[in-house]
Amino acid sequence: MPLPFTAGANTSFTNINNTSLNKTALLEYNYTLYPNATISNSTHCYLVFSTFKPTFLSNGTWLNATTCYIPYYPIATRGILSIGYGVLFGLTIVLTMMNLRKHGKRYLRESKRFRAVGRRWQWYWMLSVAGCGIISTLTGVDIDRYYLQDLPIILQSFFFALMVPGTLAMVWEGTRHWASWQVRQICDEDPFLLPQHDRRAKTEFWLPLVFYVFAFLDFFMVIPRSWSGLKKQNTEWQIEHIARPAATGARDKAGAILAVCAWMVICYSLWHSLKHYKQESWKHCPPKLAISIVVLAARLGYGMASAWNWDISISKVGVQLGWPFGLGYAAILVIILILEIAGFLEENEDKVLIAQRTARGRVHDTELNITRKPSWWQKNFKDRYLSDEQRHKNMTAEIGGGRATSQRIEQDLEMRSLTVTNLEAGTALEDPFRDEPLATPLQTRQMETASSHTNMSDAASMHSSSSERSHARQPPQQHIRSMLDI
């Protein structure tokens, strides 16, 4: 309830906090004095108690005035808890980056069916949720300190609500990727074991679409709306007629119901994966997913209750802090920490596949009685540790430098004398790169016979030639035809 202006030196002035102000000008600019020692006209608000003694001019100007929306009180329990949770959310970002590097790194060639980004989405959503948690908690430090509520209560409530769709997506991606990982292991062993057009495959195609429809509907119901009504908590009338309807409106109720629908899709997806890949045995359910889904249910239950009950909503300044910090921030922080611990305990999927392939290869070698040589047996073992540049240098050095595929061929063509025959007679050039045909057994015997005859003829020719040379050295004989020749 507004207070009347007290009488001052005359009827045109009033005395507020031992300061004389122009009453006529105050009424002209619609200023009202309130019991919380503030003076406001719904546009500007100033403090008028203790050492706050502003001066008001007749033209509507304030001098030495202090606005109502300042950190005036010391930090309280809400601020201390906000700082603690903000630090924890910041630490989870460091852990998430480590796990993202570990599980997002590729050691095998990426396939179209199993993309590397599919196993990274969980960590991306965890980074988003942790970022929203840091902003929401650290802005809540000033809620207890502000004299009148302003932007901090809006920011904390806004990012607190924004964490819900991100947490749903975080748990969903963890559940979906676990099923995808089971399929990848099965297909790596036998690519034709799981058909891609049966009911199971169609269900896995539609489930992500259904989930993100509910998640985005929850986002668009709760987030894009006016949040300015939450700061109107200065009087009982403002709380009942402005702040409470702004925090427990129809959009908040619809968003809470849609979030529960998205949670049910996650539960169905987990049951579907266990049915098809683990013989419908719940004992094979990963503990990280089971605990995360249960804790997420507690967080959504609190969101559902706070959409109808204003007294436990984080948007209320005087709320019991165990509700929003215990079932709100703590629940989400527990989910993140569970997934972080699981990420550190589990191995990179590509490395797991490599180990499985190695084990299967050894089993197959044993069945076929194949003994593999050790890795150090290979002569080119050292080449595995060479850089690309050194490997290229070695390749070019083997062929003498220059072009690696044509230099020797060109050199042989240039240095070898080719037999050129009459092309017009229909004969072709001798091909220097064609191997000689292998001889048949008959041709081999014929070649051996011809070789023996050749050797005999060669020997006779050599003998005749040597006798001829000897006859050539002897003097010519004289033919005696008569006694006159003697």
pLDDT in tens, 208-240: 999 999 999 999 999 999 999 999 998 888 999
58 and 98 share a domain? no
Residue 121: other Cβ atoms inside 10 A: 17
pLDDT tens digit sequence for 363-417: 888 888 888 777 666 666 667 777 888 888 877 776 665 554 554 555 555 555 5
The predicted model gives 97-110 an average pLDDT of 93
User: φ and ψ at 109, to 5 degrees?
Assistant: -65, 135
42 and 131 share a domain? no
Q: Which of 108 and 377 is assigned the larger pLDDT?
A: 108
Per the domain annotation, does 114 fall within a domain? yes
Provide the token pair at 74: 């010391």
Note the pLDDT of residue 472. Answer: 46
Provide the token pair at 310: 């204003």
Which residue among 361, 385, 410 closes a domain? 361
The CATH number of whichever domain residue 184 belongs to comes to 1.20.1070
Q: For residue 293, give the 3-state DSSP assignment.
A: helix
pLDDT averaged over the chain? 84
Per the domain annotation, does 7 fall within a domain? no
What are the start-end ranges of the E strands in 76-213?
none
Note the pLDDT of residue 460. Answer: 53
The predicted model gives 171-191 an average pLDDT of 93
d(CA 169, CA 221): 16
The predicted model gives 90-101 an average pLDDT of 96
161 and 296 share a domain? yes
Percentages helix, strand, coil for the chain, rounded to the nearest 5? 60, 5, 35
d(CA 39, CA 46): 6
Q: How many domains does the chain have?
A: 2
Per the domain annotation, does 347 fall within a domain? yes
Q: Which domain holds residue 216?
A: 77-361
Per the domain annotation, does 439 fall within a domain? no
Note the pLDDT of residue 483. Answer: 47
**Beta carbons within 8 Å of 345's beta carbon, 6+ residues apart:** none
Percentage of the chain beyond pLDDT 90 is: 56
95 and 53 share a domain? no
The predicted model gives 235-264 an average pLDDT of 94
130 and 257 share a domain? yes
Angle CA(407)–CA(410)–CA(415) in degrees, nearest 5?
Answer: 120
pLDDT tens digit sequence for 33-88: 988 899 998 889 999 998 899 999 988 899 999 999 999 999 999 999 999 999 99
Per the domain annotation, does 426 fall within a domain? no
Which residue among 301, 335, 361 closes a domain? 361
145 and 218 share a domain? yes
Does the pLDDT at position 193 exceed 60? yes
Per the domain annotation, does 122 fall within a domain? yes
pLDDT tens digit sequence for 3-41: 888 877 677 888 888 888 888 899 899 999 988 899 998
Angle CA(103)–CA(106)–CA(107) in degrees, nearest 5?
Answer: 115
Instruction: Assess contact for 145 and 72: CB atoms under 8 A.
Output: yes
Per the domain annotation, does 391 fall within a domain? no
Note the pLDDT of residue 404. Answer: 46
Note the pLDDT of residue 157. Answer: 95
56 and 124 share a domain? no
Instruction: Assess contact for 99 and 125: CB atoms under 8 A.
Output: no
Note the pLDDT of residue 433. Answer: 53
210 and 100 share a domain? yes
Taking each helix axis as running N to C, give the angle between helix 330-345 and helix 151-189, from 0 to 180 degrees, rounded to the nearest 10: 30
Does the pLDDT at position 134 exceed 70? yes
Which amino acid belongs to residue 326? Answer: G
250 and 319 share a domain? yes
Percentage of the chain beyond pLDDT 70 is: 79
Query: Partners of 45 in the beta sheet?
Result: 40
**Beta carbons within 8 Å of 368's beta carbon, 6+ residues apart:** none
Does the pLDDT at position 350 exceed 70? yes
192 and 57 share a domain? no
Residues in the chain: 486
135 and 221 share a domain? yes
User: φ and ψ at 200, to 5 degrees?
Assistant: -60, -45
H-helix segments, 19-120: 23-28, 77-104
Closest CA to 440 of 452, 448, 431: 448
221 and 291 share a domain? yes
pLDDT tens digit sequence for 286-332: 999 999 999 999 999 999 999 999 999 999 998 999 999 999 999 99
Which residue among 5, 34, 63 closes a domain? 63
Per the domain annotation, does 71 fall within a domain? no
Taking each helix axis as running N to C, give the angle between helix 349-367 and helix 151-189, from 0 to 180 degrees, rounded to the nearest 10: 10
